[in-house]
Amino acid sequence: MNREQLIKNINKKKSLLCVGLDTDIEKIPQCLLNTDNPVLAFNKSIIDATKDFAIAYKINTAFYEAQGIKGWETIQKTLEYIPQDIFTIADAKRGDIGNTSEQYAKTFFKTYPFHSVTVAPYMGEDSVKPFLQFKDNWTIVLGLTSNNGSRDFQLQQCGNEMLYEKVLQTVAGWGNPENLMFVVGATRKEQLQHVRSLLPEHFFLIPGVGAQGGDVATVCENAMNKDGGILINVSRGIIYAGSGDDFAEKAKDAAKDYQRQMAVYL
């Protein structure tokens, strides 16, 4: 999916919502546990309930890889079930020496045809560039995250700038706003403003809304650009909005509420 198609879908749905399918089998409603594949059944119900409000789905591969072969099969079947006009993200946080990154890129752009994959930039340019060679696919690079551990490295001084600033501006030169996004946490208003000033054209994938304390208004007011420019990820706040037989209905209500909050800014 290219940038033009993504922007068109944002404007059509009046939404910036990315639904995170961080599906934990221990949190799936009891009513699904007797099905052949409870995780897949859950994902399908969530997708059916939220697809009118979501412009993206993010599959956190860790929750599936932990299930072995069946987990990878669930990734494939979930990906196939997502409507083709909705942006898909493999939240895999890969990144290694060049020839290894080439295989990771093939995994998530060919074998499992996601539109995008998250990438860790710590090993430098040759670990990121292989992902950027695929036309109409996106590389989403970790920039400034919202977890407590971000203080250990990202927020440390590096010469005249913070390390995260150096990472953002350096990596931006390896691609362009048509194929490169950045992960930017939602919990810091001032830093959202600052990152947007550094990268006025790029899309940001923004976690941290909902369970982690971020809110839609703060994100939209400080991180949007003329094209929307952000994908606001909500995982637990939507997929676990309900735990009973009506879990899908509760998820739909939550997704609709988030979309309404976002529509004000579009």
Domain ranges of the chain: 3-263
Using 50, 70 and 90 to split pLDDT, how confident is the model at 212? low
Of the candidate ranges 67-81, 98-112, 184-198, 207-221, the one whose mean pLDDT is the lowest = 207-221
Quick: pLDDT tens for 21-64: 999 999 999 999 999 999 999 999 999 999 999 999 999 999 99
What distances in angstroms separate CA 97 from CA 18, 102, 179, one per listed residue?
30, 9, 20
Quick: pLDDT tens for 98-144: 999 999 999 999 999 999 999 999 999 999 999 999 999 999 999 99
Average the pLDDT over 81-101 and give the result. 96
Residue 211: the pLDDT is 63
Q: What's the chain's average pLDDT?
A: 95
CA terminus-to-terminus distance, the chain: 21
- In this predicted structure, the answer to whether residue 215 has a pLDDT above a threshold of 80 is yes
What is the Cβ-side half-sphere exposure of residue 259, based on CA atoms within 13 angstroms?
23
- In this predicted structure, the answer to whether residue 170 has a pLDDT above a threshold of 70 is yes
- In this predicted structure, the answer to whether residue 190 has a pLDDT above a threshold of 90 is no
- In this predicted structure, the answer to whether residue 186 has a pLDDT above a threshold of 80 is no
In CATH terms, the superfamily for domain 3-263 is Aldolase class I (3.20.20.70)
Is 0.75 topped by the overall pTM?
A: yes
| 32 class by beta-carbon count within 10 Å (0-12 exposed, 13-18 middle, 19+ buried) | middle
CB atoms near residue 225 (< 10 Å): 15
Percent of the chain, pLDDT > 90? Answer: 89
Residue 138: the pLDDT is 98
Residues with catalytic function? 93
Residue 201: the pLDDT is 98
Using 50, 70 and 90 to split pLDDT, how confident is the model at 221? very high
The residue with greater pLDDT, 67 or 214, is: 67
